[in-house]
Structure 1
Amino acid sequence: MTLPDLIIATGPVTQLAQDMLSDFGDLVELSDHREGVPSELIPRMRAIVLRGGSTLDRELINAADRLEVIGRSGVGTDGVDLEAASANRIPVVITPNAGVSAVAEGTFTMFLSITKRIRELDVAVRDGFWSQRDRLSLGDLEGATLGIVGLGRIGRRVASIGSAFGMNVSAFDPYMEERATGKLGIRHCNLTELFETADFISLHAPLTPKTKDMVDAELLSRCKPGAILVNLARGGLIDSYESIHTALDSGQLAGVGLDVFESEPPDTSHPIFRDSRVLFSPHALGLTNRARERIFQDMAAGMVDVLSGRRPTSIANPEIYEEASE
């Protein structure tokens, strides 16, 4: 008797996505993605949904003879051996549009919470320290300089929101010409200049060999004193917690917001996790109710296209279709 195909998910997926994929195999949700796909399930794996910090390496891809499609909940493909997937002609479905507004809004949630000292003010009221209203220094977005690293869909949305707040927007993106950023009302600058001049810095670059550890101790030492740094992109863009801690202690950074970490969940033994100047979120600010539904709906729709013999709308390795048509 032939066992049914499996749709492996390395974390929870929405009911709608489950329903959309149900015709193509039995869904199996892994309880802990860090342990990987159990070896006994690999021969039956027809599709896999990768959540969060899950990885899919060359060895697993090559061993999964029945694997037809990989679904990534988001736009990044770090954690997926894209070369191995392409070599095996397996499409990697992504959802580049679904979480744009949620992540952009999350960026300003961090900025506003830090510069307006929301956490401290809340504690002051609860503990009866009303006089803190005259003692805490609060910042403004209007008139401040917003520096954006990476002008993709999310970066451009952040720029638009920043402009609406009355911020002066500058950006670094090696793949966009100065003329193009100028049309968006954004001042183009190099990475060092951005860190030297921005009051608020937001990271929105993809994680690649070129961008890994791009924000290091040297770059942070060039920050405009009192800057606020927020990262909702990928944890690996920042080289270490120590670099952040040093910049905070020196006064180059006044506050930091981290929604992403190089290893997820992170090792919280570093002193930065006890530093009140740092605001944390468990890679959750892009997962609003609306964004979550759309991410999984778009991803499941793309996977259904592949499993039904159609080309999906958004994949990370479109060359596999272009090569087939030659």
Structure 2
Amino acid sequence: MSAASPAPASSASARPRSVVVALGPVDADEVTPHLPEHAQFVPDPGADDLAVAEGAIVRAAFTLDRAMLDRMPRLRIIARTGVGVDRVDLDAARERGIPVAITPGSNSRAVAEGAFTMLASLIKNLGESHRYVSAGEWGRAPVPEAGDLHGRTLAVLGYGRIGRIVAGFGRAFGMHVIAHDPFVSADDAENVSLEDAVRRADALTLHLPGGGSELLPLAILRSAKPGLVLVNCARADLVSTATLQEGLESGILGGVGLDVFEDEPVQRHPLAGRTDVLLSPHTTGFSRAARRETVRMAAVAVGEVLGGRYPTFTVGDA
């Protein structure tokens, strides 16, 4: 009697593995459950992994240039966590026919929470209050005065997903919200010119794309009420460090919150150490829930392409 023939391999095990690499730190436990069964995730790829990679999950701080793409000749999908693609060579990707997927909305609430927390802390003068108590000045010197949110005007520059959430937070604290965004219809807020927003605001938060000339030079900020609180969790080039420094020194600005910088990581920032300034290491959008969601969306985009479909959200579509 002849020996039994070996059982045929299952279709899943017979299918060639599709290598998916991480470019930047990505937790394998957070991404693997959302990839197809035939995908092999490599969180710390070497040259051999890059050479056969069909998908890449790319973090914000990673630069994916033409030279890096040359090392990945089989790449079919770039899934960028977040929506910023300034570190991705879009022309090189387009020449290769590689879609660049993004994860819109995955961290909108986290960024909004971070921006409004900065704004409220600066208005309430918590930095100076902390210094005052820590330095043992309580009972020896006048206490720092806290500002008010209720009844003040909040200008939201950029009225997309994040800006609308920030506006909701402001209203919950009794603030009057105005918006500036020439590209959207702000049906629940007065949409005003940039100059009018700066002139009327007690607090101002930025949620616009950068890439152009400085949005808020001193020439515009000089029209603001003295002591304007300004928070930028969007793009560093919207308002320069020099402008912010001059605004604080002159009293035009009463507080500044920054989560974005010209050069990252920052070393010895000119505004560091001030009690009227809050500096965050570009992490307002990196809460636990936001991180999990952006990785999930990136993994789903990779899976869509590996399954023969076009990704749901790509540059220019979201």
> TM-score, normalising length from structure 2?
0.85
Structure 1 gaps, min length 5: 31-37, 320-326
Task: Measure, in 1, the Cα distance between the counterparts of 2:154 and 2:263.
Answer: 27
Task: Measure, in 2, the Cα distance between the counterparts of 1:23 and 1:265.
Answer: 37
Structure 2 gaps, min length 5: 1-15
Q: CA deviation at 1:59?
A: 4.1
Matched, 1:189 2:204: no
Task: Count the aligned residue pairs.
Answer: 302
Q: How does 1:16-27 map to 2 (within 5 A)?
A: 16-21=30-35, 23-27=38-42
Task: Measure, in 2, the Cα distance between the counterparts of 1:271 and 1:291.
Answer: 30
Task: Measure, in 1, the Cα distance between the counterparts of 2:91 and 2:140.
Answer: 55
Q: What does residue 324 of structure 1 align with?
A: none
Q: What does residue 28 of structure 1 align with?
A: 43
Give the 3-state SS of the residue equivalent to 1:274 in structure 2.
Answer: coil
How has the CA–CA distance of structure 1 residues 271 and 264 changed in structure 2, closer, same or farther, with 3 Å as cutoff? closer
Q: CA deviation at 1:257?
A: 0.3
Q: What does residue 214 of structure 1 align with?
A: 215
* Counterpart selection for 1:119 from 90, 108, 127: 127
Q: CA deviation at 1:25?
A: 3.2
More helix by share: 1
Task: Measure, in 1, the Cα distance between the counterparts of 2:121 and 2:80.
Answer: 30
Q: CA deviation at 1:52?
A: 2.7
Task: Measure, in 2, the Cα distance between the counterparts of 1:114 and 1:23.
Answer: 50
Q: How does 1:120-199 map to 2 (within 5 A)?
A: 120-131=128-139, 135-176=143-184, 180-181=185-186, 183-184=187-188, 186-199=189-202
* Counterpart selection for 2:208 from 205, 209, 228: 205
Task: Measure, in 2, the Cα distance between the counterparts of 1:305 and 1:133.
Answer: 63
How has the CA–CA distance of structure 1 residues 286 and 139 changed in structure 2, closer, same or farther, with 3 Å as cutoff? same
Q: What does residue 262 of structure 1 align with?
A: 262
How has the CA–CA distance of structure 1 residues 256 and 77 changed in structure 2, closer, same or farther, with 3 Å as cutoff? same
Task: Measure, in 1, the Cα distance between the counterparts of 2:131 and 2:28.
Answer: 36
Task: Measure, in 2, the Cα distance between the counterparts of 1:217 and 1:57.
Answer: 35
How has the CA–CA distance of structure 1 residues 157 and 225 changed in structure 2, closer, same or farther, with 3 Å as cutoff? same
Runs of 4 or more, structure 1, over 6 Å off, are none
| Identical residues among aligned pairs (%) | 36
Q: Over aligned residues, Cα RMSD in angstroms?
A: 2.6
Q: CA deviation at 1:62?
A: 5.1
Q: CA deviation at 1:280?
A: 0.6
Q: Which whole-Å deviations, capped at 9, do the CAs of 1:270-311 have from their partners, x for residues lacking one?
A: 432233321011111222222221111122111211122122
Q: What does residue 29 of structure 2 align with?
A: 15
If you compute each CA radius of gyration, which structure gives the higher value, 1 or 2? 2
